[in-house]
C-alpha cells in the first residue's frame, strides 16, 4: 500500500544530510541515543532516553551546513516548523519538548511514538475494519481541526506521517511542509506546490493556488480510504497517469465499503474544492458519529475562544512559552545583535480599545499609522518602520499586547516608545508585571 511515488515533493528539497551520530552518545548530557528510527531528505530521527527520567524521546537531527547549502528557504522552513510545533498543543499531535543546537546541528527533542507508523499497523492487517478506522480517523480530524484553528495547514498528511503511541492512539507528525496564514497571498490562497503524489489534491496540480484547509481534507480522505480499503485510491508508477487519475477524481470503492462511508469519502475526495466537505461538516457526518461520538473537549474549548468579529488571534500554552527565550530560534540562524526588541504585557482591556489607543497616541506624535485588524505598523515620515504592535487573544477576558521596536537608527521611535507607548502599555496591563524582553 506504499505510495508508488513516495518521495515528498518540496520546493526546498535537499540531499540526504550528514547527520550520522555515533552509537551510545549522550547529547548535551541529557539524552542517551539508542538507535536510528528513520532518514528523511534533510534530517535523521533517533530514539533516545532522557538520562534523568528514563523517558523515551525522539531526536530529529538537522545539519546546519545543509541548511546553508540549501539557501535561505531551507533555514526559513526549519524556523517555521519550530514555530508551528510550539503553537500546537493537542493529544493527537507529536509534542515538541525543546530545541537544542550546536555549531553544526539543530536537535528537535520530541515525543516518542512507541507504536511506530500507522502504515505498519494497516500493512499487518491488510485493511482495518470500519470501527477501528473510525477511531483513528476521528483522532486525525481532531488534530487537523486543531491545526486549522491555529492557522496551520499541514499539507503533507499521509500514512507515513501518522504514528501510534504506546496506547495505540494516533499522533500526527512532520510539519516540515506546513504553512501558516501569513503565507497566504493577496488572492487568499497558498501557491507553493508541495505534498506527496498519491495524497496531493487536484487543485495543487492545477497550479492556480489553493486553500490550505481543503487540501488537508482531501489528504485525510485518501488516508481514510487506505485504512478501510487496504490500498490507495490513486496510485500508479507513471506520474502522468497518477496525476490524471487525481485530477479527474478516478477511483473505485472496494465491495465491502459501507454506504455511509462511501458517501463521506465521495465528499472528501470531491475534485472540486468549492463543494468538498469541510472539517466542521465531517464532525456531523453520519459515518463519523456512528456508534456514539463525544466531541473533543479541546475543540470545544477552542470554539469558545474564537473571536471572529475582532479577528484577534488565540494563544495556547506553547505561544506563551514562546514569549520567553526558551524556544526563540532566531539566534540559531542569524546574528541576534541589532535585532528588534520585543516587550509584552497582559491586559483586560478590549482588543479594539487597545488598538484604538495605540493609533491615537501614534497620530498625536505625528507618526504614520498603518492598521490591519489587530496589527498596527508605526512609521516615520521617511517610511522607516519604527514599531509594530500586535494584539493576541489569550482568554475570553485577557489579551496580550506585543510591541516590537527598532533599537538602532531610530531616535524618533525610541522617544515615542519611552514617553508614550511604553507607559500606555503598562497602563493597559492587568498587573504591573515585568514584561518579557529580548
Just list the catalytic residues: 156
- Whole-number Å distance between alpha carbons of 433 and 408: 26
Which residue shows C-alpha cell 518579557? 436
CA distance 414 to 382: 16
- Please state the separation of Cα 378 from the chain's center in Å: 29
Of 20, 93, 33, which is closest to residue 296 (Cα–Cα)? 93
Dist CA 57 CA 27 (whole Å):
12
Strands 313-314 vs 385-393: parallel, antiparallel or unpaired: parallel
φ and ψ of 129, to 5 deg: -70, 160
Task: For 12, list phi and psi in degrees, rounded to 5.
Answer: -110, 25
Q: What angle do CA 342, 345, 349 make, to 5 degrees?
A: 135
- For residues 218 and 276, the answer to whether their CB atoms sit within 8 Å is yes
Cα–Cα distance measured from residue 224 to residue 133, given in angstroms and rounded to the nearest whole number:
7
The phi, psi pair for 58, rounded to 5°, reads -105, 135
For residue 94, CA distances in Å to 4, 24, 236, 263, 403 come to: 26, 25, 31, 31, 31
What is the Cα–Cα distance from 191 to 215, expressed in whole angstroms?
A: 12
Amino acid at each position: 500500500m506504499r505510495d508508488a511515488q513516495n518521495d515528498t515533493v518540496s520546493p526546498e528539497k535537499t540531499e540526504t544530510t550528514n547527520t550520522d551520530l555515533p552509537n551510545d552518545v549522550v547529547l548535551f548530557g541529557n539524552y542517551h541515543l539508542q538507535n536510528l528510527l528513520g532518514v528523511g531528505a534533510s534530517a535523521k530521527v533517533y530514539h533516545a532516553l532522557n538520562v534523568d527520567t528514563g523517558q523515551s524521546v525522539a531526536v530529529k537531527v538537522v545539519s546546519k551546513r545543509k541548511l546553508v547549502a540549501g539557501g535561505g528557504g531551507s533555514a526559513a522552513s526549519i524556523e517555521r516548523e519550530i514555530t508551528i510545533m510550539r503553537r500546537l498543543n493537542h493529544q493527537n499531535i507529536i509534542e515538541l519538548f525543546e530545541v537544542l543546537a550546536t555549531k553544526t546541528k539543530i536537535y528537535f527533542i520530541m515525543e516518542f511514538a512507541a507504536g511506530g507508523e500507522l502504515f505498519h499497523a494497516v500493512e499487518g492487517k491488510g485493511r482495518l475494519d470500519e470501527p477501528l478506522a473510525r477511531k483513528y480517523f476521528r483522532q486525525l480530524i481532531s488534530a487537523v481541526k486543531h491545526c486549522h484553528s491555529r492557522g496551520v495547514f499541514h499539507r503533507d498528511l499521509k500514512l507515513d506521517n501518522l504514528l501510534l503511541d504506546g496506547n495505540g492512539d494516533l499522533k500526527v507528525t512532520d510539519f516540515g511542509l506546513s504553512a501558516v496564514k501569513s503565507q497566504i497571498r493577496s488572492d487568499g490562497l497558498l501557491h507553493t506546490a508541495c505534498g506527496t503524489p498519491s495524497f496531493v489534491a487536484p487543485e495543487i496540480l492545477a497550479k492556480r493556488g489553493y486553500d490550505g484547509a481543503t487540501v488537508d481534507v482531501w489528504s485525510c480522505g485518501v488516508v481514510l480510504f487506505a485504512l478501510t480499503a487496504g490500498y490507495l485510491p490513486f496510485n500508479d508508477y507513471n506520474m502522468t497517469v497518477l496525476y490524471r487519475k487525481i485530477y479527474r477524481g478516478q477511483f473505485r470503492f472496494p465491495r465491502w465499503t459501507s454506504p455511509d462511508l462511501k458517501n463521506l469519502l465521495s465528499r472528501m475526495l470531491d475534485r472540486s474544492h468549492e463543494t468538498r466537505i469541510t472539517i466542521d461538516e465531517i464532525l456531523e457526518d453520519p459515518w463519523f458519529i456512528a456508534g456514539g461520538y463525544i466531541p473533543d473537549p479541546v475543540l470545544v474549548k477552542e470554539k469558545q475562544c474564537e473571536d471572529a468579529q475582532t479577528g484577534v488571534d488565540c494563544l495556547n500554552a506553547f505561544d506563551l512559552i514562546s514569549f520567553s527565550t526558551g524556544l526563540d530560534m532566531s539566534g540559531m540562524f542569524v546574528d541576534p545583535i541589532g535585532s528588534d526588541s520585543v516587550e509584552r504585557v497582559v491586559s483586560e482591556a478590549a482588543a479594539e480599545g487597545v488598538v484604538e489607543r495605540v493609533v491615537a497616541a501614534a497620530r498625536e506624535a505625528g507618526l504614520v499609522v498603518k492598521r490591519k485588524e489587530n496589527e498596527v505598523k508605526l512609521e516615520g515620515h521617511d517610511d522607516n518602520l519604527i514599531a509594530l504592535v500586535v494584539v493576541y487573544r489569550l482568554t475570553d477576558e485577557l489579551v496580550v499586547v506585543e510591541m516590537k521596536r527598532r533599537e538602532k537608527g531610530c531616535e524618533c521611535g525610541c522617544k515615542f516608545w519611552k514617553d508614550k507607548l511604553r507607559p500606555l502599555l503598562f497602563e493597559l496591563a492587568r498587573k504591573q508585571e515585568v514584561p518579557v524582553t529580548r
